[in-house]
Amino acid sequence: MSAQPTRILQIVPRLFPDVDGVGDYALQLAHQLYDHHQILSDFLAFRPNPRLRPQVDQFPVHRLHTHTAAELIDQVPENISTIFLQYSNYPYLQGKLDAPMWLVDALNVLKQRGLRIVVMFHELPTLRYKRVRCPNFVQRRVSRGLAQVADAVVTNNMAFQQTLSRWTKSPVHCVPNFSTIGEVAEVKPLSARQRSLIVFGSSDRTRVYRNNTETINHICNMLAIDTLYDVGRPVDWEHQGLNVNVVRTGFLSAPEISELLAESFAGMFDYRRFPRNLAKSTVYAAYCSHGLLPICNGHGLMPQDGIVANHHYLKTSTLQNFVQPTSLQEIATNAHDHYRMRTLVQCAERFAELIHPVASAQVMDMDTNGYDNTYTEFGPLNPGISPHPPTPFP
């Protein structure tokens, strides 16, 4: 008789049918943890959609009806061994100056009852005034409290890792984000792809288009692009000045997006809002995992997490220096090779180790150079079916 799976509770902001990057990340991770590590996830939706089903992909789903410590504790099912909080600040907050310390209190009670606490920090809180970003010290009280109560602290880039390491004496583990729209076993060379450019992501992708018609036309001309695919939530932007065919796909399922990426020549992104945090971008991860040419709008970002401009992505400001097919292919290959060290399989293995810690063993973090990066002390789809194929439970 096979052993019973370990049961964990993943707390997420939202879950399908909502379109939510963190929820999608958690759901893909749940499939991999169950299929390969015998770890079965229940989900607790922090902001449940009225259309949320009792199960998503056959994973049990629970709702948080009121934002109180007592309600959260009451929603934890029996036989749960680990609370796995997928934390991204803003969906957990009622306003810019909200500081829900009750969330820390609830996890502290659950920890005292013998449950293991794992917190994945997808974001750290900031405030934005015009074009200036600064730390949100009110909300950082919550993040600091969560880091201190957790048995295992995880984040997706080294900049966040360094900040979190100042808040807790526990190790802070770095697990860069995987592609949440899937991965392909074999990638086509650029020479065998359609001459199409993809702009993919949330409504923030409008930054790629804003006052940027001349640059996009230049890219399309230099790379012989004939079609631009705009993929995601419908947004307002003017494309009349573009010299290529524009296809606004709207929402697509993960397999549909994956198929489009696998055949496209290049994908464009704008991450100037987070110049030190590209490793947390699932859009960039999706481009890399599918072997197309990632193009960063503007002058590039700081070297970070082993990701270097014009080596793992192409800057639009230096495009003219890399127009040779061999140069473009080299960048696409570098990006794909780099991604192969942060796939869903590898990320799930890392989380499985944190859910089942091995005493006396120091686990290496998944940085891009193979070094130990641990810091210490200092669209609408069919209802009830996610974009990912369900795994049947026995």
Task: Encode pLDDT of 67-89 as tens digits.
Answer: 999 999 999 999 999 999 999 98
- Is the confidence at residue 20, as pLDDT, over 50? yes
Are residues 12 and 154 located together in one domain of the fold?
yes
Residue range 135-152, pLDDT digits in tens: 677 788 999 999 999 999
Q: How many structural domains are present in the chain?
A: 2
* pLDDT of the residue at 7: 98
- For the chain, the straight-line distance linking the first and the last C-alpha, in angstroms and rounded, comes to 12
The residue to which tokens 């820390």 are assigned: 104
Are residues 139 and 282 located together in one domain of the fold?
no
* Nearest to 159, CA basis, from 140, 174, 180: 174
Are residues 165 and 267 located together in one domain of the fold?
no
Alpha-carbon separation of residue 2 from 38, 243, 261, 300, 359 (angstroms): 10, 60, 39, 51, 24
Let me know if residue 363 belongs to a domain. Answer: no
Let me know if residue 380 belongs to a domain. Answer: no
Q: What is the mean pLDDT of residues 227-232?
A: 96
Q: What is the mean pLDDT of residues 219-227?
A: 97
Are residues 224 and 251 located together in one domain of the fold?
yes
* Nearest to 26, CA basis, from 118, 96, 127: 118
* Tokens linked to 191: 């020479």
* pLDDT of the residue at 361: 37
pLDDT band per the 50, 70, 90 thresholds, residue 298: confident
User: How far apart are the C-alpha atoms of 19 and 180, rounded to whole Å?
Assistant: 12
Are residues 117 and 205 located together in one domain of the fold?
no
Let me know if residue 384 belongs to a domain. Answer: no
Let me know if residue 370 belongs to a domain. Answer: no
Share of the chain above pLDDT 70, in %: 87
Are residues 137 and 13 located together in one domain of the fold?
yes
Q: Parallel, antiparallel, or unpaired for β 39-45 and 314-315? A: unpaired
Which domain CATH number covers 281?
A: 3.40.50.2000
Are residues 39 and 156 located together in one domain of the fold?
yes
Let me know if residue 377 belongs to a domain. Answer: no
User: How far apart are the C-alpha atoms of 388 and 31, rounded to whole Å?
Assistant: 9
Q: Do residues 305 and 276 make contact, with C-beta atoms less than 8 angstroms apart?
A: no
Alpha-carbon separation of residue 189 from 111, 286, 320, 334 (angstroms): 50, 16, 21, 12
Are residues 232 and 297 located together in one domain of the fold?
yes
Are residues 209 and 120 located together in one domain of the fold?
no
Residues contacting residue 113 through CB under 8 Å, at least 6 positions apart: none
Query: Half-sphere exposure of residue 355, counting CA atoms within 13 Å on the CB side?
Result: 28
Q: What is the DSSP string of 376-387?
A: ------STT--S
Instruction: Give the DSSP letter of residue 316.
Output: G
CA 244 from centre of chain: 30
Are residues 302 and 249 located together in one domain of the fold?
yes
Are residues 204 and 294 located together in one domain of the fold?
yes
Q: What is the mean pLDDT of residues 250-257?
A: 94
Let me know if residue 361 belongs to a domain. Answer: no
**Range in 147-161, 272-286, 331-345 the model is least confident about:** 272-286
Task: Compute how many other C-beta atoms are within 10 angstroms of the C-beta atom of residue 391.
Answer: 13
User: How far apart are the C-alpha atoms of 239 and 218, rounded to whole Å?
Assistant: 14
Share of the chain above pLDDT 90, in %: 70
* pLDDT of the residue at 111: 98
Let me know if residue 109 belongs to a domain. Answer: yes
Domain that holds residue 334: 190-339
The Cα diameter of the chain in Å comes to 65
Let me know if residue 326 belongs to a domain. Answer: yes
The residue to which tokens 């909080």 are assigned: 85
Are residues 56 and 134 located together in one domain of the fold?
yes
pTM, two decimal places: 0.88
Calculate ∠ Cα 127-128-129, nearest 5°.
Answer: 125
